[in-house]
Chains A and B, each alone.
Chain A
């Protein structure tokens, strides 16, 4: 998979290295900016209240 990407990047090894770095940074940015903020409320790691509702706001259980 990564080998395939590498072979299809243009330029010599240096150019490919720079493009790869930019691609990696773009992926990390997308993860931090969009994917993780979306995924986090779906995971049960950040619920701190005692209303019994999940962080997603499933409604109060008493």
Chain B
């Protein structure tokens, strides 16, 4: 349940940004999550609501924006987009794929009331 730790960091970053921009209330937070990121959306949602209580983002909506998984195919040498870690290479069908992206967890922006 490291989603709780993630949300505590989220809260810290959101509060910092709110102070810097003179924002009193945040209504929406957009977070980019890579396809291969070690984060479970359902758990993140649950933790977000609990952790944001008492902050400028209490009751704010958490919007998750998915970023594609990316991998280098060691058989054909192409960099490809993947939905699942265990999918074969969409170009050559090879099974030796080295993840090169898709583990992002990043706050993109927030909406102020």
Q: Do A and B come from one complex?
A: no
